[in-house]
Amino acid sequence: MKKTITLLFFAIFIFSCKNEVKEEQNSLKGKIYTEINEIPELKNFEFQAESMIDYEGKKSNQYKFGISQFFKKGKYVLILEEKIRGKSKDISNKILDTIMISNLKEDEIISLCTCRVNGINNSEIIAVVKDKNNDAEYLNKIVKAWKANSKNGRIIPIDNLNGIDCVNESYGL
């Protein structure tokens, strides 16, 4: 019994340490940029898309958070960023969190800020969605999804994908 408790304590300790290391690995967190080539780690990435998040679910013309998508050789980097307005008209971006998505299958796409949960729009959802031969207005074959949480500045995996669907941007074309 004593051995079991010792092993359990040791396992919890190891797991806790592992989480802390993972937290530290995001070397982009906190960096500020106007152009992506200002960030050495992303210098050769190509900008693909950007969407703004309705802050705390409220529609506003003063958008504060966005998600940008960059691509390089089969790897997508998605950045949750805070928009910082300076004295000039330039807007800088502060990186709050990032995720990397790689090895998308031919029938998979990334959907930014165009998803719903149980029929209610939620611009904080990022999803990998199956898109092959789909004529529906909304795509509901969600492979993986995350929430870009504008309150705590983190991109968090969503475990329960039930009820999530995303706009089919090819619908009607």
Work out the number of other CB atoms within 10 angstroms of the CB of residue 23.
Answer: 10
Q: Spell out the alpha helix ranges (H) of the chain.
A: 2-24
Query: Measured in whole angstroms, how far is the alpha carbon of residue 41 from the centre of its chain?
Result: 18
Mean pLDDT along residues 133-137: 79
Closest by CA position to 97, among listed 146, 56, 52: 146
C-alpha span between 114 and 118 (Å, rounded): 13
* Nearest Cα residue to 151 out of 89, 80, 91: 80
> Is the pLDDT confidence value at 117 over 90?
yes
pLDDT (0 to 100) of residue 74: 92
Alpha carbons within 13 angstroms on the beta-carbon side of residue 62 total: 2
Q: If pLDDT is split at 50, 70 and 90, which confidence band does 172 have? A: low
Greater confidence (53 vs 26) lies with 53
**Residue 26: its pLDDT value, please?**
78
**% of the chain surpassing 70 pLDDT:** 79
pLDDT in tens, 49-105: 999 987 555 555 567 899 999 999 999 999 999 998 877 777 899 999 999 999 899
Whole-prediction pTM: 0.78
Are 160 and 147 spatial neighbours (Cβ–Cβ below 8 Å)?
no
